[in-house]
Each structure stands twice: as C-alpha cells, then as structure tokens.
Amino acid sequence: MYATVRRYENVTNPEEAAKKVDEIFVPLISALPGFVEYYWINLGNNAMMSITLFKTLSEAIDANEQSRIWVREHLSSVLPTSVRIEAGTIVAYKGKGK
C-alpha cells in the first residue's frame, strides 16, 4: 500500500474546509480504483492534514493529481496555495479486523 500525507498551514476557515472535504471530496476519492482509506484531520492552530491510502503506487499518483486539482478548484479560498506533500510505501500496517 501507498500513503500520501498533505499538511496545510494557515487555513483561513477550517470548518468550511472540513465540510467541503467531507461532503464532496470524500465520496469522490473513495470511488477511485485502489482506494483504501482517507482521513482529514484538524490539527488546530489553523493547520489541517490529509492522509490517503491506496493499494498501488500508480493509483496513489493518480489520486494525488485528482486531489490537487479538486483542492485548487474547490478550496482555494480557504486553503493556502503552499502545501507540504509527502508520500511513500507503507511498510507496517494494522487495521481493525486485519
């Protein structure tokens, strides 16, 4: 599995960002091939983070591009243009029931 982590600083409206992500983005990303899990986290102090898990590297790369476009088109008013993105192979994992 592959994970992508995005950290957003200076979020101007965390509540609006969370609402749009939950209502619009989560259904979109969870329908992509290879989707495993997605988390949108309010870190406090106007910082937010997303964690996305996909089965393969190519699926994660495709999801990253679709995520970048969606954020630019739907959240540019509340999220900063600068985002820290990290991605890598999951080398240890434990899920409920696994």
Q: Where are the domains of the chain?
A: 2-89
Burial of 48 (0-12, 13-18, 19+ CB in 10 A): buried
pLDDT over threshold 90, residue 98? no
> Residue 78: which pLDDT band, with cuts at 50, 70 and 90?
confident
> What number is the average pLDDT over the span 30-42?
96
> What number is the average pLDDT over the span 48-55?
95
pTM for this one? 0.86
Q: What is the mean pLDDT of the chain?
A: 90
The CATH number of the structural domain formed by 2-89 is: 3.30.70.100
Q: For position 68, what pLDDT does the model report?
A: 85
pLDDT over threshold 80, residue 53? yes
Long-range pairs for 68-76 at CB < 8 Å and ≥24 separation?
A: 70/25, 70/28, 74/20, 74/24, 74/25, 75/17, 75/20, 75/21
Mode of pairing for the β-strands spanning 35-44 and 47-54: antiparallel
